Amino acid sequence: MKFKFNKDSILNIKEMLSDMETEICGSISYFDGELFFLDDPTADSTSKFCQIKNENIRLESETMRFHTHVFKCYPSIQDIESTLKRGRILDVILTKWGVWLMSVPSRAPVILKQPEKLVAVYDKYSYPLYLSSKEKLISLKDINSFITKITWIVNNSIQIKFKNWEMLEADEFLL
Ligand SMILES: [Zn+2]
């Protein structure tokens, strides 16, 4: 799928992210060749973590959703498991480093034979990201090995991409 995010929508969400203390989440809508972030009014923004993690909330778009991370600049293990489980077209995570795009091409839920292997790989390769999050550094090398190893352990059933904010604002890209 070829698409681009609407520039104003990116600026708006980026601004919200800069002074946010709680996570927000919502759906992504597609209009006239562009994608827009839609704040979910049903989400509980009073708790630290966005209630989109409560799978009972039904979003307008079941196939494209986003949420923000306040501290963690990379996907959590629950985020990855959730994307695999739901087989969504697109899961977007907005962080201070940039934006993570995760998708399951099959759209069908992916059942892992040995889920503990994913957890072990995640723990090992997210640790450098955890350290650099704390120091507010960004290492594209660590990000790339995280993506490569997670994708490998789930037999390519998930696609993960990382874009810095400038890349997201640039032209269209394939997912
Ligand atoms: Zn998350």
Residue 117 has pLDDT above 90, yes or no: yes
As residues whose CB is below 5 A from the ion ligand 1, the structure lists: 76, 79
Quote the ligand 1 centre to 31 CA distance (angstroms).
Answer: 25
Residue 116 has pLDDT above 90, yes or no: yes
Q: Range with the lowest mean pLDDT among 52-56, 87-91, 137-141, 161-165?
A: 52-56
Greater confidence, 63 or 46? 63
Share of the chain above pLDDT 70, in %: 82
Quote the ligand 1 centre to 67 CA distance (angstroms).
Answer: 7
Determine the pLDDT at residue 109. Answer: 84
Residue 4 has pLDDT above 50, yes or no: yes
Quote the ligand 1 centre to 34 CA distance (angstroms).
Answer: 24
Quote the ligand 1 centre to 27 CA distance (angstroms).
Answer: 14
Mean of pLDDT over the chain: 82
Quote the ligand 1 centre to 52 CA distance (angstroms).
Answer: 9
Q: CB burial class (10 A; 0-12, 13-18, 19+) of residue 43? A: buried
Span 61-94, pLDDT tens digits: 457 888 888 888 999 999 999 889 877 678 899 9
**Do residues 52 and 69 lie in contact, with contact meaning Cβ atoms separated by under 8 Å?**
no
Q: Range with the lowest mean pLDDT among 94-103, 123-132, 134-143?
A: 134-143
The whole-angstrom separation of Cα 23 and Cα 52 is 10
Residue 104 has pLDDT above 90, yes or no: no
Residue 45 has pLDDT above 70, yes or no: no
Quote the ligand 1 centre to 159 CA distance (angstroms).
Answer: 16
Query: Which one, of 80, 84, 38, lies nearest residue 61 by Cα?
Result: 38
Determine the pLDDT at residue 43. Answer: 59
